[in-house]
Amino acid sequence: MATLFFASTIPSAKLNGLGREISSMLKQARIVAQNRGEKQIMIIDLDSRTYGIEGKETKNIPPEITARVIDPLSGTVTQGKYSFVFYGSGGIEGATILLTYNKKTLSIETDPVVGSIVVKQ
C-alpha cells in the first residue's frame, strides 16, 4: 500500500516542483529587469512545451502536465508562445499560468500593480 501511495505522489511532486521553478524564474526576470533597468521577457511556448527567459536556456514542461495561460485581455491561451514582460521599473503585465495534472491545478499569478508573483494550489 505504501508503494502505491508513494507512486501516486510523484506526479504531484513534479507539478509542485514545476510551479516553484516557473515562479522562481518569473521572480528572477523581475529582479534582473529592476537591477539592470531594462526589459526582461520570460516566454512560455505552449506548443513545444518549454519555458525560459529570453536569450537564456529553456526548460521543458513534463508531458503529463498541462499548461495554459489566462490573459486578462485575450482569455485562455493554450497554443503558441506567451510572453511575460518585466520592465526596469519593476512592473509586469498581469496574467495567470495554470498547471494541471489530473484533477490538481496549480496557479501562478502575476500582479501588475505590485509586481508580485503568487502561487496557489
Q: What is the pLDDT of residues 66-116, one digit of tens each?
A: 999 999 999 999 999 999 999 988 788 889 999 999 889 999 998 877 667
- Strands 50-53 vs 40-45: parallel, antiparallel or unpaired: antiparallel
Note the pLDDT tens digit of each residue in 4-54.
Answer: 444 445 667 888 999 999 999 999 999 999 999 999 999 999 999 999 999
Cell of 63: 508531458
Select from 28, 8, 23 the least CA-distant residue to 86: 28
Domain boundaries, the chain: 2-120
Write down the pTM of the prediction: 0.85
The pLDDT, as a whole number, for residue 14 is 87
Cell of 7: 507512486
Query: Which residues is 50 bridged to in the sheet?
Result: 45, 60
Dihedrals φ, ψ of 48, to 5°?
-90, 0
d(CA 106, CA 92): 20
- Whether the pLDDT of residue 1 is over 60: the answer is no
Q: May I ask the CATH architecture of the domain 2-120?
A: 3-Layer(bab) Sandwich (3.55)
